[in-house]
Chains A and B, each alone.
Chain A
Amino acid sequence: MSQLIHEIKEAARDFLRDGEDRTVIGFEQGSLPLQSRPCFIRKENDLERLVWNGFCKNNLAGYLPKRKGKIAIVVKGCDSRALVELIKENQITRDQLVIIGVACNGMIDRNKIEADMDGESIVDVEEGEDVLTIKGTNSSKVFDRKEYLYDHCKVCTNPVPVIHDILLGQRDSNTPQAPVNDTFSDLEDFSALDGKERWKYFTEEMNKCIRCYACRNACPMCYCPECFVDASRPQWVGKSTDLSDTMIFHLMRAFHLAGRCVGCGACEQACPMGVDIRKLNRRLQKDVMDLFHYKAGCNLEEKTPLATFRTDDSDSFMVEP
């Protein structure tokens, strides 16, 4: 790990020395244990702030749309796929970017750890390759790293960044270097439920929503200058936390992300209320794969299925409703 962060800093240093008006977007230690957070670095002296660990959960690609100047950005596998989509959607140009790719071992879900601390506050953490030693106020606990990853990390099939200028970090030799299609086995149990049960599940989840829009604002693909929920003339969506309003917000957002969502889990990480936002998007990822054989963010050439037309496009969803 210390070698890796050294390499990240060196790559960032080379980038900063290479010219004027340059920004490095990476991670620094947060103010609490189990928290790393985004940081913006413009001076070599500040490079010491950079960290890399299992808590670098944010998708930094979200800071890129319409940003000016040269940027070096630290990305994981999922983040790099968001970059690909953003470049394709003309939100940033490839030549503005120096992509410092880090082969990712999955990010640790702080909420899962906290839930298993028996109410003890976390004071410190020591991250090993396979285990985490968490120091609480009264005791120490050892956690199996793999078990406490975010759900989207557990099903991730391409932890190695798909585009990069520098690739750092190591995964075991079984890790695919190129994107692999998902099996979506994690959706099987849910898909087996009947419509009423699925609706009940979504109803319960969306009822928790407080309309803070953290999901939308954390999403690298949600960059509309005016979101449909913020439009007031006309107002498309009710503003309250009534189920009909929250449901419309989440359903519409999911539709907007169909074929574009890279499954980075930024929405779910940002949600303070623990809403399972990802389930909808994950299911749409599967639909897009089934209908158009497309996985978002895998390469720069392939056109986004909902932004293009082919005569052999599937139309089963129209003719067999």
Chain B
Amino acid sequence: MNSENVKLLNKERLDDFLKVLFRDCIVFGPTRKGNMLLFDRIESIDDIVLGRGNTMNSVKDALFPQKENLFNYRHGDEGTEIQKPSAEEKGMVLFGVRPCDAQGLLLLDKVFGGGQKDPYYIDKRSKVAIIGIACENPDPACFCLALGGGPCSTKGSDLLLIDIGDKYLVKAGTPKGIAFFEEKVFEDADDEALAKASLVEKKAEESMNRAALGEAGIGEALEKRLEKLFDDPIWGEVTESCLGCGVCTYLCPTCHCFDILDETVKSTGERIRIWDSCQFPLFTRQASGFNPRPSSKERFRQRIMHKFCYLPKNENLPGCVGCGRCVTKCPVNLDIREVIKKISLREAT
């Protein structure tokens, strides 16, 4: 590895680095709220919790919040006045992002920054730095390796911290990341540290199941198979226990569907964007009352199709990064890994 892309950060100097970040930026990171580990805005260094495991919510919340004000309006005698929200001047740092979540942002970039540019997302995205932290002990529900990521992958991160004992090996994935190395807190990396980091990576990867989505995994064959299976009874079979709630979509780091609403009180109001979910009946219910996706069967199929067929075709990226949130938090343990495996074994009828 090129030495300009990799440095060392002594754990004792982590606070010094964080102080720099807090001085210049708005910081989001993992923090404890009650008994939950959440990814949220952080006001003080002491509130950052860098431990095992991932946060309950994904980091998408920071760039694509569940509720976002698009503008305020007022209807008056002289017409309608529009007031746009004031953009944040300061830069943003997402600190302690797991590699799966960082990879998820690459998909959001395509959705919100591709053909149609979403100014609200783009504005935040242009100001944000992603500082990831590698997973030396992936959870049994994690399957990033099957989605082209990995527990120490730098995809989507500007910087990635790998815990090698009393120090972090810090890899820069982008020029933005390399710019951080100007700070005095970083030291040059030696061969020993690099060797330690590759051992961490090797051990973490070995503890995971590369074939969590079946031997064939994702790719063109799966896309074609899914297209053929659109009307297959398999969807009814796998979704019989589905409750139709939005846990899987709302915790997902790549799910990005939203609704836009006006909340009006008398002559003033705000236009807001809120998350929506393909798992809800209202998502597709038409004005006539007809619903082309009337049950969990069609809604869950859409979720799988979107993630493993449509997005790979349209954006060249799957809509899943293997974070495992939907696996662990589904109230009925409807495991997306098992569904993909079943699909890959199914012959079209």
Binding site for B on A (CB under 8 A): 30-33, 35-40, 58, 62-63, 111, 115, 119-123, 137, 208, 210-214, 216-218, 230, 232, 238-242, 269-270, 272-274
Q: Could you mark each residue 220-258 of chain B with 1 if its beta carbon is under 8 Å from any beta carbon of chain A, else 0? A: 000000000000000000001101111101110000000
Closest to A231 in B: B282
Q: Which of A38, A212, A216 contacts B332 (CB 8 A)?
A: A38
CB-CB < 8 A to A210: which residues of B? Answer: 57, 66, 246, 250
CA distance A122 to B277 in the complex (A): 30
Closest to A213 in B: B245
- Which of A40, A111, A239 is packed against the most chain B CB atoms within 10 Å? A239
B333:A32 contact, CB within 8 angstroms: yes
Q: Could you mark each residue 48-73 of chain B with 1 if its beta carbon is under 8 Å from any beta carbon of chain A, else 0? A: 00011100110000000011000000
Interface of B is mostly: loop
CA distance A37 to B338 in the complex (A): 14
A32:B141 contact, CB within 8 angstroms: yes
CB-CB < 8 A to B140: which residues of A? Answer: 32-33, 121-123
B337:A213 contact, CB within 8 angstroms: no
A230:B332 contact, CB within 8 angstroms: no
Given A230-B282, A241-B67, answer yes or no on A119-B53 (Cβ-Cβ < 8 Å).
yes
Q: Which of A32, A58, A239, A272 contacts B251 (CB 8 A)?
A: A272
CB-CB < 8 A to B250: which residues of A? Answer: 210-212, 272
B34 at the interface (CB under 8 A from A): yes
CB distance from B222 to the nearest CB of A (A): 19
User: Known contacts A121-B139, A217-B243; can you find 4 more A-B pairs with CB under 8 A?
Assistant: A37-B241, A121-B137, A208-B33, A208-B34
Closest to B281 in A: A230
A35:B245 contact, CB within 8 angstroms: no
- Across the A-B interface, the 4 shortest Cβ-Cβ residue pairs: A119-B52, A270-B331, A214-B245, A212-B246
B280 at the interface (CB under 8 A from A): yes
CB-CB < 8 A to A242: which residues of B? Answer: 67
A–B Cβ pairs within 8 angstroms, 27 of them: A30-B335, A31-B335, A32-B335, A35-B333, A36-B333, A38-B332, A58-B332, A62-B243, A63-B241, A115-B35, A123-B140, A137-B207, A210-B250, A212-B246, A212-B247, A212-B250, A214-B245, A214-B331, A217-B244, A217-B245, A239-B259, A240-B67, A240-B261, A269-B331, A270-B245, A272-B250, A274-B35
Binding site for A on B (CB under 8 A): 33-36, 51-53, 56-57, 66-67, 137, 139-141, 207, 240-241, 243-247, 249-251, 259, 261, 263, 272, 274, 277, 280-282, 327-329, 331-335, 337-338
CA distance A121 to B142 in the complex (A): 11
Q: Which of A40, A111, A230 contacts B280 (CB 8 A)?
A: A230
CB-CB < 8 A to A111: which residues of B? Answer: 35
CB-CB < 8 A to A62: which residues of B? Answer: 243
CB-CB < 8 A to A213: which residues of B? Answer: 245-246, 280
CB-CB < 8 A to B332: which residues of A? Answer: 37-38, 58
CB distance from B252 to the nearest CB of A (A): 11
CB distance from A16 to the nearest CB of B (A): 17
CA distance A265 to B224 in the complex (A): 42
A272:B51 contact, CB within 8 angstroms: no
A38:B241 contact, CB within 8 angstroms: yes
CA distance A36 to B66 in the complex (A): 31
CA distance A242 to B265 in the complex (A): 15
A211:B246 contact, CB within 8 angstroms: yes
Closest to B263 in A: A238
CB distance from A186 to the nearest CB of B (A): 18
CB-CB < 8 A to B263: which residues of A? Answer: 238, 240
Closest to A118 in B: B52
CB-CB < 8 A to A240: which residues of B? Answer: 66-67, 261, 263, 272, 274
Closest to B36 in A: A274
CB distance from A213 to the nearest CB of B (A): 5
Given A119-B52, A208-B33, A230-B281, answer yes or no on A39-B241 (Cβ-Cβ < 8 Å).
yes
CA distance A216 to B331 in the complex (A): 12
A119:B245 contact, CB within 8 angstroms: no
CA distance A273 to B282 in the complex (A): 23
B328:A32 contact, CB within 8 angstroms: yes
CA distance A30 to B338 in the complex (A): 11
Closest to A272 in B: B329
CB distance from A243 to the nearest CB of B (A): 11
- Which of A123, A210, A212 is packed against the most chain B CB atoms within 10 Å? A212
CA distance A273 to B56 in the complex (A): 8
CB-CB < 8 A to A214: which residues of B? Answer: 243, 245-247, 331
CA distance A214 to B33 in the complex (A): 20
CB distance from B251 to the nearest CB of A (A): 6
CB distance from B174 to the nearest CB of A (A): 30
CB-CB < 8 A to B331: which residues of A? Answer: 58, 214, 217-218, 269-270
B243:A31 contact, CB within 8 angstroms: no
Given A38-B332, A123-B140, answer yes or no on A208-B36 (Cβ-Cβ < 8 Å).
yes
B137:A137 contact, CB within 8 angstroms: yes
CA distance A274 to B52 in the complex (A): 19
CB distance from A270 to the nearest CB of B (A): 4
CA distance A31 to B334 in the complex (A): 9
CA distance A270 to B250 in the complex (A): 14
Closest to A138 in B: B137
CA distance A38 to B331 in the complex (A): 10
Closest to A60 in B: B241
CB-CB < 8 A to A30: which residues of B? Answer: 333, 335
CB distance from B289 to the nearest CB of A (A): 10
CB distance from A201 to the nearest CB of B (A): 12
A40:B240 contact, CB within 8 angstroms: yes
Closest to B141 in A: A32
CB distance from B112 to the nearest CB of A (A): 20
CA distance A269 to B329 in the complex (A): 10
